[in-house]
Structures are given as structure tokens and as C-alpha cells.
Amino acid sequence: MSEEYPSGSGEFAMGSQIAGYRLEEQIGRGGMAVVYRALDIRLDRHVALKILAPGLALDDAFRQRFIRESRAAAAVDHPHIIPVFEAGEANDVLFIAMRYVNGGDVRTLLDADGPLPAVRAADIITQVASALDAAHSHGLVHRDVKPGNMLLDSTSGSGRQDHVYLSDFGLSKQSLSVTGLTSTGQFLGTLDYVAPEQIEGRPVDGRTDLYALACASFEMLCGAPPFRRDQGLAVVWAQLSEAPPSLCARRADLPAAVDTVLAKAMAKAPADRYPACLAFAAALREALGLLVPGSAGPGSPETGWPAGGPPAAGAPGSSPEPRAHPLTEISTPGRAAGAGAGDMAAAAGAAAEPPAGPPTEAIRISRPTRPGQGERTSYPPSGPASYPPSGQAGYPQSAGYGGYPPSGQAGYPQRRRPWWRSPAAVIIACVVVLGAAGGAFAALHGGGGGGGGGGGDSTTTAAVLPGCGTAVASAPALPKVRTAKVSVGGNPFTVQAAPDGNYSFVTLGNSIAVLKTGASLAPTVFSTFSAPGAKRGEAISPNGKYLLAAAGSGAIVINVAVAEQGSSSPITGTLTSPYGKGAVEVAISPNDKFAFVTLQDSADMVVFNLSSALTNGFGPSDVVGRIKLGQQPVGMAISPDGNWLYVTSMARIKTPHPSEGTITVIDLHRAEAKPSSAVTSVATAGCSPVRVLASGNDVWVTSRESDTLLCFSATSLRTSPAHSLIARVNVGAAPLGAVMVRNGSRILVANSDLHNQPGATSSIAVISTSAALAGGHALLGLIATGLVPREFTLDPGGKTVLVTNSNSGSVQAIHVGSLP
């Protein structure tokens, strides 16, 4: 595989290089950008590398403005703004390299813990406010302030609970409108936090970000944004015309003064809001009964600072350089930040330029917060690195903020509502604004393409488990998709591509076929070797050295290099356990040391020490233990961060009618050490859930007897499993395997039609992930296939998918580039 990424292909292979950065893992994505954890080869450090969609670089005006605005964002040096290391163009794509942050984000925190304690929320809000004021002083407007863009570095060493970074600065949302590159159905901003002037397409400035920060503050304190509605248009209406609701009515332990502060910060007219974000933060702290930083005495428990105030940046006790971790400029847990993956703040002077018209974002099913979550009472002292002096009634006027009322007043009277904000005018405005986006009205109702892979901060109704029964969806055929077949004989079940991209392996029952990639779309049969019992799943170790094929009570271990040489006996050994039989799927730990096998017949998952078996010889000591799952476990997937293992299980009791199955979350590291205590949570997953995909904070499951593809929030699966379902798509008859392609923007599902349902056929369903998460029409079409398609593999280059056809004795190749 080439070290360099092929320009313009739209696919980014792991291990390839962009401008001196080697891609290691995709950690976030949005409608117009993908973020990778990458290694800066020159400085030997990890960075978050955001790569924009290749087509954006083709527009000269956009490219020039992108470089200019990225430099402007990089010039803002502030302890609570993600540092931008480099921005430029390479291999016909635009990129930004940023700090790789060690921590989660506020979106994930809220999903896991619900409303935050007042002290912790105020600390986060004040740090974000200081970052926004710094950006505004440089002429930058963020335009998409939300919990998912507030990253938490819990290893700052400063003694506070959180060190907060505000992300998503750099690429101007304004430039997309100016250059006419805004996509239909894409909203630059998030409806739950968007200010009225941004909806209406009027000029925006720092007060727009202040409004969004106030909405996010409301959610931090009570667990839901102020204007949560079932439909996007209802949110738009509320943002334009309704007064903010009472926070204290939702959370009785807070002082009534909090409502006054939030009402002013969320005033419909920008001039009626606070003059700066820190002025709002200070007023909120005061209303909460928390001392404004700097006003407390030495060693005050409210600030946790010694005499003399907070430590200066770089001084002892201030935040050190954070260490690398899997969450970065776009946070993958909670899927919130992905919606803004390609959006950054406008550059200097952008506040004076009204957008050409607000585009729209598809509305995503919200992740519910945990019900009944009470306030925690014990947190370490907090306080950001710098704040304005305390005791001031108002803050100095900032550039471009002319016409504000004086700050420090308990409440400010609302201005007379202008004619254009009357109820009738609001309806007209919504229709005009949404219509100007070209299809945005449909997007607001879940019919448009969203920001892809993310969102999480917008609102629709919650998804409901499908139950058992037939729900086959109709969809157009996709005859233009390029396909080809190769006959392999036997009863092909699983196909697995080798990391080198040159070979693939197909389990046939008692043998394994080795396929060789050639010049044509379909591979050719290179060789076949005996592998008794290899009739189900298989997996290749992350280092690419071994292929494990499920068999009996464990797995057959095959030397990949020897098999690729055409050897008739490439088997190294066999992992066996005393726990029964019916091995279905295999998973291998990211460090290549452990193997996990689901045993359908005995309702167990067995854990093997693969490294020990390869080193010391195969035997009973290879078995680490088993995890009892209660039902019939079948499918498995390891989370991208390597911390969790997801297992799907079908109901054990055989009755005339199918029953609900489950998805179990297993702590992977605990499973390696003490399997019996590794189960973290269990959630219902439709009828006969069979296969699972893990991508970012989304976990996708095919539910065979429900004819659906389900999507769960990974965070909620662990913390609130009963409320973890976030999307469902009717896909076809008896879906089995699934695979993600195009950096996660599409999912292919194998509709097996095992039960020969009337009017149904075997097919491959093509799903739009962004539309699925938005609750829109996600089934793009069906690809004709052989009888009973089962399992997929994607070649390392991301260009070809192979799928087994069990009853046809063949493997079908699908050209990814020809998919809709």
C-alpha cells in the first residue's frame, strides 16, 4: 500500500501520510471533514488532523479564504482555545493540524451524568466564556458553541475538576456561504443553541456566541436545552419567538436569580444581552452564590486558589501540555462534535458580512440524559487560568460591540417586538429561511442529509425498539453500482481481507479459500486449504500475522504469510475450551494478545490468551475464562478506542415466534484479566440481533427478525442502556452482516431473505448514516446479489467490498466508488 494518499479519491487509508502526518485512526467526522489521530513525523507527537472533503479544495476562493482564516484562528493564543499547529493544502486536500486533547467533552459528560453540579457547570462556562471573549477580540465569531465543542482535559494538573478547551475554530462558516459551497440540507450551527439573528440570516457577532453559551449553560444545569422540541421547525419557532423557560422550575435547588441572568443572556435582540461572555459568566456565578474568581480571600474554597489569584499560564499549578488521547478537536463519544467536524469560526471582519442564507442541518435523534440524576456534592476546587478583575459593574466595550446596554443590571427590559417577529411573520421567516437553503425544510423534519456521523445536540423524538415481525422496506434498485462475482464453491460464510490488500480468506465449512486481488473488480481463487470446522466467522490479528477462524469451542489459528504463499497446511494451532461448542464469531484485542470467541450453543463467550498459545504452544492453559451471557451470543465488535467489546445475543428459548435479543457491553481490559466480572451493561436490541459495527460513539446492530438496522449511543449503552437507542432503519428481509464504507458515511447491509418473505429478495441495502441518524429517509437503494448474502469485508484501501453468498457458493465484489 502506498505511503501517500491518492489525491481526490475521497478515501483516506490508515498508515498513509498527509503533509508529514501519518494517519493512525479516524476519531471524528462531519458533513465536510474527517478528523484523524495522526503522528507528526517531524516532531514525533500526536495531533488531531482535520482533513476537508477533497472537493472543497477545487474552489480557489474557498481555498484562499480557508488558509487566511486558519491563520487568523491560529493567531489566537489562549489557554482555553484548541491550539492550531498548521493549516494548508497537500495532495489536493485542505488540512488543519491541532492539539490532541486528553479528555472527553461536555456533551459526553451530560449524556453520562445528567445535570452538573452548579460549581462544576459555572467553572466550565467561565472557561468557555474567556475563550470566546479572546476570539471575539480578534474578530472571530464561533457560530456553533455547544457542549460537544467544549473539550475536557482532566489531566491538566491545575487542581481543578476540568480544564476546558473550546474547539472548532479555524474554518469559516461564513466562507461557505460567501463562496456558494454550502450543501443542501446542511445547517452551519446547531438548532438547540442557535441565536435568532443567525437563523434569520442577519449579521452575527460575539453576542451570537453568548446566546449559544447561555443555551448550553441552561443544559449543563438542568440536563436539557431550553427549547427542546420534537421537530426542528418547532425549535426554530421557539428560538425566534418564545421567552426562555424557567431553569429554576426544572431544578428547584437553584436560586431564582439564575433565571434573570439566563433571560438576559438569551434575549432575542442582541443589544439586550450582556456585553461580553465573561460578563454573563460572572453574573451567573454571582446568581448561583459562587464567588467571582479573584474576589475570594486567600485559599478560598470557592476558587481553590492561593493568595494572589489564579496561577499565570506556564506557572507552577497552571495547565501543562496535555497528553495524547483518543478524543480530540471533534469528540467521537456522544456523536455531538461530529456535526461540526468541518466548521470553524469566521475570520477577522466576518462579523460585518451577513451570510448568504442559513443552510440547514439534519435533525438527529437526541441522546437522553439519565433520569433522576441528582447533583453531586463533592468536586475539587475549580477556577480557570484567567478572569477579568472582580467587582466591576460592567466590562469594557469590545470592538464591534457598539450599542449594548450597560452590564451588571439584574434584568433588562425586552424591547418592543418588531413587526417581523410577530407569529405570522415568524412562520413566513421560517419558510423563507429554510427554503433558501434548498431543501432545508425537509432536513429539519429528518429528511435531509446531515452533518454525518455526529450532531447529537439537535432534537427529534426518541427511537423505539422495533419488536419482532416483518418490516421490510421498499427501495429502488441500484443497477449502476458495479459488481462482479467469483465462484468459490462450498457454503461460504465469512470473508476477511488481509491488511496487505492482496488476499482475502473465505470460510467454506471445512476449508478456507484464499482469494487473490487482481486487476479486475472480482478477485480470483488462489488456493484452498483444509480447516475442519471453519464454517462461521473469522478475524485477522491487528498486526496482520494470524487469521483466526471460529471452530468447535474456540478457533483455528492460521499463519497469514504462509497461507498467502499457497501452502496447503498454514494452520499454526487450535484454541479449544471446555465450555461447549458452536463458535460463531472471533475478535482479537488491539494488542494482539487475547482472542474472544462467541459460543452460540453454550451461551458463553470464551477468552483465550493468544499470545501465550503462540509462544508456549496450544493447550488448556490458553483459556483465560468465560463470560456467561444468558442468551445465544453471535456477533462481536471492539470499540475504536479498544476499551469495550460489544456482543449481540439471540434469545435461547426456541418458540414458534422469535423473541427479543440483547447487546452486551463488556469491559475489554477486565475481560482479559477477570472475565467473570467484565459485563458492564445489557440492552435490548430487537429480535435476533446478529451482527454489530462500532464506529466512534455509534454502535450499529442488524436485527434479523425485525428486518431493521439499529443504532445505539455507545455512551448511553454503558450508562443508561434502556435509553440508548438513537436510530432505526427498515432495511430488508432478515438482515445479517453489515459494513461501513466511505469513512462511515454509508453502511451496506446483507438482506438474506432467509424466510423467503413474500415480495422480498436477497439484496444489499445501501444506507446513508447521516440520514439514519437524522431520522430521515436513509435507505438509498438495493443492490442485486446472489442467494443469502451473509458477511462483508472492506479492502484496506476502501475501494472494494466483498460479500459472501452462502446459497450461491460465490463471493460478490462491489465497487465502493459507484455507490450512491
Just list the catalytic residues. 144
Amino acid residing at 553: S
Q: Which three cell numbers stand for residue 599?
A: 459460543
Q: Which residues, listed in sequence order, are joined to residue 723 by a DSSP beta bridge?
A: none
Helices and strands: H and E segment counts in the chain: 16, 36
- Reduced to 3 states (helix: H, G, I; strand: E, B; else coil), residue 766 is strand
d(CA 582, CA 585): 10
Q: Which residues, listed in sequence order, are joined to residue 242 by a DSSP beta bridge?
A: none
- Answer yes or no: are the C-beta atoms of 25 and 808 closer than 8 Å: no
Amino acid residing at 641: D
The CA distances from residue 15 to 22, 38, 47, 268, in Å, are 6, 9, 14, 49
| Cα dihedral across residues 611, 612, 618, 624: positive or negative | negative
The CA distances from residue 520 to 375, 517, 524, 801, in Å, are 61, 8, 9, 13
553 closest CA partner among 530, 578, 585, 587: 578
The CA distances from residue 817 to 8, 517, 742, 803, in Å, are 12, 17, 9, 16
d(CA 290, CA 512): 68
- Reduced to 3 states (helix: H, G, I; strand: E, B; else coil), residue 728 is strand
513 closest CA partner among 494, 500, 485: 494
771 closest CA partner among 455, 382, 419: 455
- Vertex 194, ends 190 and 195: CA angle to 5°? 170
d(CA 70, CA 74): 6
In angstroms, how far apart are the furthest CA atoms of the chain? 85
- Rounded to a whole number, what is the distance in angstroms from the first to the last CA of the chain? 26
The CA distances from residue 758 to 474, 477, 779, in Å, are 12, 17, 20
- Reduced to 3 states (helix: H, G, I; strand: E, B; else coil), residue 385 is coil
| Cα dihedral across residues 473, 476, 480, 483: positive or negative | positive
